[in-house]
């Protein structure tokens, strides 16, 4: 079942240690088949070097396992909330990458301070509110997804393909699992740049809206023109 999607999910998961976003088993990537309403996701607690495409669990959008021996990622419920709320995404990634996790532990979003940020994220990368004790005690992973969706009530997830989850770490998404990982790699670099920029100039202001528009909109959306336009992806 879903052999090609499993191959893509394996490849995307293996990118995480290669790009220094994870150590040990600290992260997971999934992808969705929208027609069938099925999600392929990394199994929980399995080291990356032991992953095999044929072992990847398949779950439905209610979280029921429909194929595979191994337990799906402990973050599965968060991924499922995101697939249901953001209909255009095809892949989700969660890591504890060190620069984004610093912002998460500080409970801070990442302002758009320069064109490196603006090339990929249309404005601030938001940080969620903290979960309440009740939200942590009951359906924690589902509530993590819900608080992300709440944070995006006035934001376009295709133009801001990632979030900092307060006290926790980053989640990213994209049109497919490799694109989601690419967004995670870029967000990690942006988190590092922003940390040093704000250390140099603590009162720094975000870049002008005009510069933000110029850099983001030439690469994304219906009027994109950067590079070989047909290859530009959100």
Ligand X SMILES: O=C(CO)[C@@H](O)[C@H](O)COP(=O)(O)O
Given the rule CB under 6 A, which residues bind ligand X? Answer: 25-28, 42, 44-45, 73-75, 94, 96
Q: How far is the CB of 72 from ligand X (least distance, A)?
A: 8
State the catalytic residue, choosing from 24, 196, 208, 226.
Answer: 226
Of residues 28 and 166, the one with the C-beta less far from ligand X = 28
Contact 186, 21 (CB under 8 A): no
Dihedral angle, C-alpha 23, 28, 29, 32, nearest 10 °:
170
Establish whether 48 is a catalytic residue: no
What are the residues whose beta carbons fall under 8 Å from the beta carbon of 175, sequence distance 6 or more?
88, 89, 90, 91, 233, 234
Contact 94, 106 (CB under 8 A): no
Of residues 6 and 117, the one with the C-beta less far from ligand X = 6
Establish whether 226 is a catalytic residue: yes
Q: How far is the CB of 94 from ligand X (least distance, A)?
A: 5
E strand or H helix at 9, and its extent? helix 3-18
Of residues 24 and 226, the one with the C-beta less far from ligand X = 24
Q: How far is the CB of 199 from ligand X (least distance, A)?
A: 27
Contact 97, 17 (CB under 8 A): no
State the catalytic residue, choosing from 33, 55, 119, 140.
Answer: 119
Catalytic residues: 119, 226
């Amino acid at each position: 079942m879903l052999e090609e999607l499993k191959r893509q999910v394996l490849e995307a998961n293996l990118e995480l240690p290669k790009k220094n976003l994870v150590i040990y088993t600290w992260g997971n990537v999934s992808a969705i088949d929208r027609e069938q309403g099925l999600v392929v996701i990394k199994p929980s607690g399995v080291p990356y070097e032991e992953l095999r495409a044929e072992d990847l669990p398949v779950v439905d959008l209610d979280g029921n396992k429909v194929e595979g021996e191994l337990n799906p990622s402990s973050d599965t419920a968060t991924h499922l909330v995101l697939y249901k709320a953001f209909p255009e995404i095809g892949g989700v990634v969660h890591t504890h990458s060190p620069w984004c996790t610093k912002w998460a532990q500080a409970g801070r979003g990442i302002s758009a301070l320069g064109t490196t940020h603006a090339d990929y994220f249309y404005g601030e990368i938001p940080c969620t509110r903290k979960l309440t004790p009740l939200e942590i005690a009951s359906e924690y992973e589902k509530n993590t997804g819900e608080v992300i969706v709440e944070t995006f009530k006035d934001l376009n997830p295709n133009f801001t393909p990632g979030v900092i989850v307060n006290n926790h770490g980053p989640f990213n998404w994209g049109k497919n699992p490799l694109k989601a990982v690419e967004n995670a790699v870029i967000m990690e670099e942006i988190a590092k740049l922003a940390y040093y920029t704000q250390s140099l100039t603590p009162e720094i202001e975000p870049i002008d809206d005009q510069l933000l528009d110029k850099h983001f909109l030439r690469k994304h959306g219906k009027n994109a023109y950067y590079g070989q336009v047909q290859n530009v992806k959100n």
